[in-house]
Amino acid sequence: MGEVEVYLVSGVLIFVVCAYALVVHAHLIRKVLALNIMGSGIFLLFTAIARRTDTPDPVPHAMVLTGIVVAVSATAFALALVRKLHQATGRPYLPEEPDRSPRPPKETRRNPERG
Amino acid sequence: MSFPTLLPLLIILCSSGVSFAILFLGDDRSRLRTTLYLGGEVLKLALVLVMLRGIYLGDDYELRIPLLPGIDFLLKANTLSMLFLVLSAGLWLVTTVYSIGYLRGKPHQSRFFAFFGFSVSATAGIALAGNLFTFFIFFELLTLATYPLIVHRDTPEAMRVGRLYLVYTLSGGVVLLAGAVAMQLVAGSVEFTAGGAIDGSEANNAVLVVIFFLLIAGLAVKNAFVPVHGWLPQAMVAPTPVSALLHGVAVVKAGAFGIVRVVYEVYGIDLAQSLGVLFPITVIASITILYGSLMAVRQDELKKRLAYSTVSQVSYIALGISLFGLIGAIGGVVHLVHQGVMKVTLFLCAGAVAETLGIKHISRMNGVGRRMPWTMGAFALASFGMIGLPPLAGFVSKWHLGLGAMEAGQGWVIAVLIGSTILNAAYFLPIIYRAFFLEPTEEAARQPKKSRFEADWLMLIPILTVALLSLLVGVLAGSSVSPLGWAELIAQQEWNYDVDR
Amino acid sequence: MAAPGTSLAILLPVLLPLVGATVAFLAGGASLKTGRRVQVGTGLLTAAGVLGSVVLLWSVVAAEGPVSYQLAGWEVPVGIALRADGLSVLMLLTTALVGGFGSIYAVGYFSSNNEDRRTGREVEGFRDPGRSFWPLWLFLWAALNGLFLSGDAFNLYVTLELLGLSAAALISLGGTGSALAAGMRYLMVSLLGSLAYLLGVALLYGAFGVLDISLLGENASSVPATWAALAFISLGMALKTGLFPLHFWLPSAYSASPSVASALLAALVGKASFYILLRLWFDVFEGSVPAVSGQLLGAFGAVAILWGAIMAVRQRRLKLLLAYSSVSQIGYLFLVFALVTGGGRGFDAWAGASYLVLAHASAKAAMFMAAGAIIFALGHDDIDRLRGIAQKLPIPVASFAIAGITIMGLPTSGGFTAKWLLLSSSLSSGQWWYGGVILAGGVLAAVYLLRFLNPALIQVKTSPVLRIPPKSMSVSAFMLALISLALGLVSAPLLDLLAVGAPFQPEVPGE
C-alpha cells in the first residue's frame, strides 16, 4: 500500500468512525464534533487524491478550501443552535420525538455526561 | 376555434360555470341564484338540442386538446353521447325545479346547487368524452362533485356514508385507471369508435381479457354490480333530489354508460364475443338483477327499497349489452333512458311524500294516495312501468331484452327477467295497495296542509312532468323520436347493425 | 460564450435573491417600522423578479435548447458552469411559484398583531423579533436556484450546504424548545447527508478527474469507485429527502416549524436533494448503475408510499398528518429509479417523477399554508378539535380540499398527470406491483385526508376562533391549491419543456 493509499483509506475510515459516533452519542456537542471531523476525513481524501499525479492537482485543494469555509460556518451555526436549545430547554440533548410520545422526556438518562 | 368545435365544451361549462358563480353567492340570495341557475339550464338544454339536431343531420362536433404525450383530451359527440346527454340535461332541469321546492328554507343551498351543477357537468363530460382517458377524467370528477351532495346534511351519519361512498368509488376509479393505462400502452390512445377501437391484434388475448375485466370492474362499482353495490343503498342519507340524480342520471348511469362504451366502442361486440368476456357479464348482471329485487322486497324504508330496485334495474343495461346481438343491445341502451325517467319519478314522489307528510316508511303509508292522489298516481304509473306492464316503458325494455336473449341463444335469461318482474311486482304493488286502498293512519290525517296543492307546487310539477315522460317514452316507443327510435338509430349508425324497421 | 440575454436569464434567478437577502439583512438593523417595510418590499420585489427571470429563461431554453454559462468566463473543466435545461427550468418554476406565494403568505403571517400569543407548542404568528425570516428565506431561495442551475458536482455540494443551513435556521425560527430541537435535528441530518454526498463527489473526482456533470456523464464507467460514489450520494440524498426508513427526522421538522417554513421546506427543500439524485442518476450514472440499486430505491419508495399513508391515518395533529403524507409522496418520487432500471418507459417515469415534484410542491405548500392559517386562528391543530372549522375558515379548508385532489392523484390535477405517467411506465415494464402501490397510495390518501376534511365540514353550533387569519394567508394557500389543480390541464407545454435536454425522449404509443 503506497503513501497515497494510506491517506485515502484513513480518510474513509475517519468518515465512517465519525458517522458511527454521530449516531451513538446523544450529547449535541459531541454530535457537532463528529460531523466536523467527518468533514476533515473527506478533506484528507481530497488531499490524497490531489497527489495521484506527479504535479499536484490544484482543483481538490480549491475544493478543500471551500469545504473548510462551509464546515466552519456550519459548525458555528450548529454550536449557536446548541446553545439556544440549551437555553430554551436546559438540556443539550435532542428530545426523543416529542410528537409521538406524549409523556414528557425523562430527566434521568443513562448518558453520564450531562450538563 | 369554430362553433361546432367549441359546442361540446360549452355544454359542459354551461352548468359548471353557473355553479361556480353560485358557490360564491350567499345563501340568502335565492332569487338571483335561481335566475342564474335556471338560465344556465335552459341555455344548456338549448345547446344540447342544437347539437342533437346537428348530430341527426350528420354533423361532427369534436374538440381535441393534447394533454400528455400521445394522449388527447377529446370531446366528441355521436348518437350514443346524445342519448345520455339529452337525458341528463332534461332530467337536470326537472330535478332542479323540484330541488328549489324541496330545499326551500333549508341551509347551504348555494353549496347544494353548485355541486349539483358540477355533477351534471361531469355527467355531460362523461357523455361527450371521446376517448377512454377523457372518460376517466370526468368519471373521477363525478365522484368528487357528488361527494359534497351525499354529505349535504352534515350529520355524522352522512359523513360516515360519504366516506364509504368515496372509498368505494375511488377504489373503482383506480381499477379503471389501471385498465385505462394498460389499454393506452397496448393500443395507444383509444378513441371510442363505432364497431370497436381495437381489433384484437394489439396484444394476445389473455392481456386483452385482463384489461377488459379491469375496465369493467372499475365501472362496476358505480354501476353497483353485486358484490360492490354496498354504497348505493347507504347513499340514501342524501337529500332526495340527490338520490334521484344519483340513481337516474349521474353516478349509476355513468357506470352503465361506460360499460356500453367499453363493450361496443372500445372492444367492439364481435371481439368481445370472440374473447368470451360477454358471458361473465351476463351472469353477473343476472345475479345483480335478482339479488337487488330480493333485497328490495325486504326493505321497509321507501328510499331504501327504491335504492335496491335501482341495483336491480340498472343491471338490465349491462345485461342487454352483454347479449350478443342487436335486439339485446337496443334493449340495454333504451333502458338507460327508461330506467332514468322512471326512477327519477319514483324518487321525486318519495321525497314529496316525506317532505309533505313526514312519512318515510312503507308500513306507515296507509292511505297516502287519498291525501296526495297526483303524487301517488305518478308513483303508481312509474311502478307499473318498472314492473313492465305493456305499453309502458319498462315493458319495451324487457321485451327487447327477452328477444335479445333468445337471439343470443341465452334462453335462461328470460327466466331471470320473469323472476325479476314477479319480484318487481312484489315490492311495488303493496305500496300502491297501501296508498290507495287502506285507511289513512291518524298521524297522516293530522298533518296540516302546507300549500294550496297536495304538495309544494314546485315539487308537484316536476313529478307530473317526469311521470308524463315515463308514460310517453313507452307509449310512443314506435315513433322515431322516442328513445327506442334513437337507440335503433345508434345501433344503425354507430354499430353498423342492419335495422329493419 | 452565451448571448447576453441568455447569461442574464441564467444569472438573475441566483443573483436576485442573493441581493434581496443582503438588503433584507441590512434592513433588519433599521427601526422596527422601516425595517419591516423594506424587508417586505424587498421580498415581494425579489419574488416578482425571480418569476420574471424564470419565465425569460423558459423562453430561452424552449427556443435554443439547453443553455450554459461559464462563471467569470473560465471554461470547463477549470471553470464552473451554470446550466439550464428543461428539468432545471421546471424546478426553478416550481420554486418561483411556491416561493412567490410563500412570500405573500409570509407578509400576512409576520405582520399580525400577536398580543394574545399563547404558550405551549404552537409557534404560529410570532412577530419574528430578530426580523430574520426574510434574509433567511431569500438566502434559501438563492441556494435553491443555484442548486438547480449548477452544472458542477462540487458546486452542487456548496449550494446544498447553504440550503441546509438556511433551512435549519428557518425551522428553529419559532425559538421554542420543540422548534429548536427540530431545527437541530434537521441540521444534523442535513450535514450528514451533504457530507455523504461530498464523499461521493471525492470518489468520482478521484476516479475520473472531472467535476462538471456533463463531462462526468461522458467519462463515468462502471467501476467500483462509481458504485461507491453512487451508494454514498444516494444514501445522503435519500436521507435529506426523507425516504423511508430515513424519514425519522421529517415529521418533527415539518410539524414543529412555523407553517410558512413548513410549506417552503416540504415543498422545495426536500425536493432539491431529490433533484440532485435525478440529475446524477440519469445524467451521470446512466449505464453504469447496477439494476439492483434502482430496484432497492424503488422498493423503499413503495414501502414509503404505504407506510407514510398508514402513519398519516393514525396522526392526531394536522401538520403531522401532512408530514407523513409527504413521506408517502416522497415514496412516489423514488419509484422512478426502479421503473427506469426495470426497463419501463424512461420518459414516462422520469417526467412523471419530475412533474410530481411540481404538483406535490404546490399542493403540499398550499396544505401547510392552510394548516398554518387554521393554527393561526385556533392556536392548535388537533384534528379532533377541528370539527366544523369549515364554517369559520372556508377558504383554508377549501384550499386543503382542492390540494388534496392532487395528493390523491385524481383528475384534473397535476398529481393525476404524474401518476398516470408513473403508472404507464410501471405497466410498460411489467412491474405491475409498483402500479398497484401507486393506486393503493391514492386510495389511502383519500382516507387520511378525509380524517381531517370530514369532521371539518360538519356543522357545529360554536367553534372558538381566536382571530381571523389575514387575507394574504388564506388567498395564497387557495391560489397554490388552484395551481396544483390546474397543472393537469397544462401538462402538455410543461412536458414539452421537460423534454428539452432530457435524458429520455417521449415515445408516442400506437403510431
Short-list C389, C426, C419, CA closest to C405: C419
Chains in contact with A via at least 3 Cβ–Cβ pairs below 8 Å: C
Gap between the Cα atoms of C484 and C408, Å rounded: 12
Q: What is the pLDDT of residues B69-106, one digit of tens each?
A: 778 889 998 888 888 999 888 888 889 889 988 888 78
The mean pLDDT of A22-40, rounded to a whole number, is 91
Q: Is the pLDDT of residue C411 over 70?
A: yes
Q: What is the DSSP pairing of strand C67-70 with strand C81-84?
A: antiparallel
**φ, ψ at C49 (rounded to 5°):** -60, -45
Sort out which chain B residues have CB atoms less than 8 A from C450's CB and list them: 163, 166
Which residue of B154, B176, B177, B237 is the best one to mutate when testing the C interface, meaning the one whose CB has the most C CBs within 10 A? B177
H/E run at residue C337: helix C318-341
Residue B70 to residue C506, Cβ atoms within 8 A: yes
Q: Do chains C and B touch (3 or more CB pairs under 8 A)?
A: yes
To which residue does cell 361486440 refer?
A: B269
**Residues β-bridged to residue B64:** B74
Mean pLDDT, rounded, of chain C: 87
Q: Which of C172, C188, C202 has the CB atom closest to A45's CB atom?
A: C202
For the segment C441-490, what is each residue's pLDDT rounded down to a tens digit? 998 998 899 888 877 877 676 666 777 888 889 999 999 999 999 998 88
Alpha-carbon span B436 to B73, nearest angstrom = 53
pLDDT band for A1, please (50, 70, 90 cuts): low
pLDDT digits (tens, 9 = 90+) for C300-348: 999 999 999 999 999 989 999 999 999 999 999 999 999 988 877 888 8
Amino acid, res. C285: F
| CA–CA dist C368, C379 (Å, integer) | 15
Q: What CA–CA distances, in Å, run from A58 to A55, B92, C497?
A: 9, 77, 38
Burial category of B105 from C-beta neighbours within 10 Å (exposed 0-12, middle 13-18, buried 19 and up): exposed
Q: Which residue on chain C is closest to B203 by alpha carbon?
A: C510
**C440 vs B: CB within 8 A:** yes
What pTM does this model have?
A: 0.89
Residues in C touching B146 (Cβ below 8 Å): none
Q: Does C228 touch chain A (CB under 8 A)?
A: no
- pLDDT tens, residue by residue, C198-215: 999 999 998 888 888 888
**Over the stretch C345-404, which tens digit does the pLDDT of each residue have?**
888 899 999 999 999 999 999 999 999 999 888 888 888 888 888 878 889 999 999 999
Taking the CB of residue A30, how many other CB atoms lie within 10 A of it?
16
pLDDT, tens digit, 9 for 90 and up, residues C272-306: 999 999 999 998 888 778 888 899 999 999 999 99
**Is the pLDDT at B148 greater than 80, yes or no?**
yes
- How many Cα atoms occupy the beta-carbon half-sphere of B373 within 13 Å? 1
Chains contacting C with at least 3 CB pairs below 8 Å? A, B
Say if residue C290 is preceded by a cis peptide, omega within 30 of 0.
no
Do the Cβ atoms of C465 and C364 come closer than 8 Å? no
pLDDT of residue C114: 47
**What is the structure's pLDDT at B448?**
63
Residue B79 C-alpha, separation from nearest chain C C-alpha, in angstroms: 26
Residues forming beta bridges with residue C382, ordered by sequence position? C317
Q: Is B381 exposed, middle or buried (0-12, 13-18, 19+ CB in 10 A)?
A: buried
Contacting residues of A for C188, CB less than 8 Å apart: 22, 31, 35, 78
Residues of B in contact with C424 (CB under 8 A): 181, 184-185
pLDDT at C119 over 50: no
Q: For residue C143, is pLDDT > 90?
A: yes
Q: Is C72 an 8 Å CB contact of chain B?
A: no
Over residues C25-35, the pLDDT tens digits come to 998 877 777 88
- For residues C112 and C259, the model is more confident at C259
**Given an 8 Å threshold on Cβ–Cβ distance, is A99 in contact with C255?**
yes
Q: Residue holding cell 424552449?
A: C62
Helix, strand, coil percent values for chain B (each to nearest 5): 75, 5, 20
- Which chain A residues contact residue C181 at CB under 8 A? 85, 89, 94-95, 98
pLDDT of residue A109: 39
For B130, B189, C450, the CA distances from B65, given in Å and listed in that order, are 12, 13, 33
- The mean pLDDT value for C249-266 works out to 89
Report chain C residues whose CB lies below 8 A from the CB of A8. Answer: 206
Q: Indicate the helix (H) or strand (E) that contains B153.
A: none
**What one-character DSSP code corresponds to residue C267?**
I
Q: Which of C371, C220, C193 is nearest to C288 (CA)?
A: C220
| Cell representation of residue C217 | 456523464
Contact A59 C211 (CB under 8 A): yes
Q: Strands B71-76, B62-68: parallel, antiparallel or unpaired by DSSP? A: antiparallel
Q: Any alpha helices (H) in B151-275, and if so which ranges?
A: 156-187, 205-223, 231-234, 240-244, 251-260, 269-275
Average pLDDT over residues B172-188: 90
- Amino acid occupying residue B359: I
The sign of the CA dihedral C436, C437, C440, C445 is: negative
User: What pLDDT shows up at residue B129?
Assistant: 92
Which helix (H) or strand (E) is A92 found in, with range? none
Distance CA C407, CA A29 (A): 40
**Between C436, C458, C495, which is nearest B68 by CB?**
C495
Nearest to A67 among C172, C183, C198 (CB): C198
Is C240 in CB contact (< 8 Å) with chain A? no
Q: How many CA atoms, within 13 angstroms, populate the side-chain half-sphere of residue B411?
A: 0
Q: How confident is the model at residue A99 (pLDDT cuts 50, 70, 90)?
A: very low
Closest CA to B152 of B278, B61, B56, B240: B240
Instruction: Mark yes or no for CB contact A95/C187 under 8 Å.
Output: no
pLDDT at residue number B285: 93
Please state whether beta strands C67-70 and B71-76 pair in parallel, antiparallel, or not at all (unpaired).
Answer: unpaired
> Hey, is the C-beta of A88 within 8 angstroms of any chain C C-beta?
yes
Segments of C238-390 assigned E as strands: none
Per the CB < 8 A criterion, the answer to whether B136 and B274 are in contact is no
Residue C155 vs residue B501, higher pLDDT: C155
Contacts of C455 in chain B (CB under 8 A): 159
- Per-residue pLDDT band for C120 (boundaries 50, 70, 90) equals very low
pLDDT of residue A89: 85
Q: Which of C436, C491, C507 sits opposite B67 (nearest CB)?
A: C491
Q: Looking at beta carbons, which residues of chain A come within 8 Å of C215?
A: none
Task: Determine which of B64, B170, B191, B210 to mutate to test the interface with C (most C C-beta atoms within 10 Å).
Answer: B170
Q: At residue A111, does pLDDT exceed 60?
A: no
At C178 the pLDDT is 83
Using CA atoms, how far apart are residues B232 and B15, in angstroms rounded to an integer?
A: 25
Do residues C502 and C87 lie in contact, with contact meaning Cβ atoms separated by under 8 Å? yes
Banded model confidence at residue B220, pLDDT cuts 50, 70, 90: very high
Mean pLDDT of C255-275: 91
The predicted model gives C48-55 an average pLDDT of: 94
Confidence of residue B256 (pLDDT cuts 50, 70, 90): very high
User: CB–CB of C158 and A89 under 8 A?
Assistant: no
For every residue of A23-65, DSSP letters joined together read: HH--SHHHHHHHHHHHHHHHHHHHHHHHTSSSSPPHHHHHHHH
Q: How far apart are CA C330 and CA C305, in angstroms?
A: 7
Cα–Cα nearest to B198, from B213, B183, B178: B183
- C348: CB partners within 8 A, 6+ apart: C339, C421, C422, C424, C425, C428, C506
- For residue C19, pLDDT over 50 is answered with yes
Of A38, A49, A94, the CB nearest to C206: A49
Establish if C209 touches chain A: CB-CB under 8 angstroms: yes
Q: Which residue of C has its CA nearest to A52?
A: C206
**Per-residue pLDDT tens over the stretch C154-198:** 999 999 999 999 999 998 887 788 888 889 999 999 999 999 999
The average pLDDT across B398-422 equals 90
Chain B hits for C506, CB-CB cut-off 8 Å, are: 69-70
> For C243, what's the count of Cα atoms within 13 Å in the CB-facing half-sphere?
25
Looking at the predicted structure, is the pLDDT value of residue C228 above 50? yes
